């Protein structure tokens, strides 16, 4: 038999979950619900096997499963701030290239949405590693950070102990870079900005203005008159 303490803890957890669900429902909008309904219409077309998984259930049970699944998706979308049609369309482009006929998990779909935040042409870890190695091989006076790809500069700028990194053996050197580069990509997935490279170092030009002799003489004359 459960102890009073166990029952009380279970009740508190149940109430906490109910409160969280109530808060989510209070903050959602009709537009949020329409968004999820639209996504499920597209999912039912793109993932035909999903319908078959509900085919053996009574109508009321199938509807209950559908409603709960929509609720789970809506909560996850709100928690991750996914409401941009551009990102959702990107996720569907990934889904349509996936041969799996079953519906993806909400976590997988949100992951695809977040990938849509990564700018086109962003280098993967291997490409960025090659770029930074070439950069490090340049003479110090020719290393201009502004010439690096934004994701490469951000990764380099956040490596931490650069001196230690440069001395690592090749396998560790590359792995250390890849781990930091993945953190850079995660920032992009979350829509967060990257560190900006400093502007190019400008050469300081020495300028020499020839002495205007007559103007100098006139200036001295005025100073002398002021002393009288």
What contacts 129, CB < 8 A, 6 or more positions away?
174, 177, 178, 181
Q: Which pair of tokens denotes residue 115?
A: 């990938």
The structure tokens 């009288």 sit at: 228
CB count within 10 Å of CB 39 equals 20
The DSSP letter of residue 120 is T
What contacts 131, CB < 8 A, 6 or more positions away?
123, 148, 149, 152
CA dihedral for 126, 132, 135, 136, sign (positive or negative) = negative
pLDDT at residue 51 in the model: 75
Long-range contacts at 9-13 (CB < 8 A, ≥ 24 apart): none
Closest among 108, 113, 114, 72 to 91, alpha carbons compared: 113
pLDDT at residue 222 in the model: 63
The structure tokens 């209950």 sit at: 64
How would you class 108 by CB atoms within 10 Å of its CB: exposed for 0-12, middle for 13-18, buried for 19 or more? middle
Please, are residues 56 and 62 in contact by the beta-carbon 8 Å criterion? no
| pLDDT tens-digit profile, the chain (228 residues) | 444 444 344 444 444 444 444 554 557 888 989 999 999 999 988 888 877 777 778 888 988 988 999 999 999 999 999 999 999 999 999 999 888 888 899 999 999 999 999 999 999 999 999 999 999 999 988 888 888 999 999 999 999 888 889 889 999 999 999 999 999 999 999 999 999 988 876 543 444 455 566 666 666 666 666 555
pLDDT at residue 143 in the model: 86
pLDDT at residue 62 in the model: 86
How would you class 222 by CB atoms within 10 Å of its CB: exposed for 0-12, middle for 13-18, buried for 19 or more? exposed
pLDDT at residue 210 in the model: 57
Rounded to 10°, the helix 85-96/106-115 angle is 110
Residue 205 to residue 107: CA distance in whole angstroms: 57
Q: Sort residue 81 into left (φ over 0), alpha (ψ -120 to 50) or beta.
A: left
């Amino acid at each position: 038999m459960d102890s009073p303490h166990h029952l009380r803890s279970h009740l508190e957890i149940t109430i906490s979950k109910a409160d969280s669900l109530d808060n989510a429902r209070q903050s959602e909008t009709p537009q949020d619900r329409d968004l999820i309904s639209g996504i499920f219409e597209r999912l039912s077309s793109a993932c035909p096997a999903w319908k078959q998984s509900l085919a053996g259930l009574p109508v009321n049970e199938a509807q209950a499963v559908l409603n709960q699944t929509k609720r789970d998706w809506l909560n996850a979308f709100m928690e991750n701030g996914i409401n941009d049609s551009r990102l959702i369309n990107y996720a569907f482009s990934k889904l349509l290239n996936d041969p799996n006929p079953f519906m993806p998990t909400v976590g997988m779909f949100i992951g695809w949405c977040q990938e849509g935040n990564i700018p086109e042409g962003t280098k993967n870890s291997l490409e960025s590693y090659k770029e930074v190695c070439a950069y490090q091989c340049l003479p110090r006076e020719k290393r201009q950070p502004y010439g690096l790809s934004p994701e490469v500069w951000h990764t380099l700028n956040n490596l931490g102990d650069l001196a230690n990194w440069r001395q690592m053996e090749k396998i560790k050197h590359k792995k250390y870079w890849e781990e930091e580069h993945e953190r850079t990509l995660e920032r992009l997935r979350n829509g967060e900005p990257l560190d900006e490279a400093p502007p190019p170092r400008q050469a300081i030009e020495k300028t020499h203005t020839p002495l205007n002799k007559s103007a100098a003489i006139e200036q001295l004359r005025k100073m002398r008159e002021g002393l009288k």
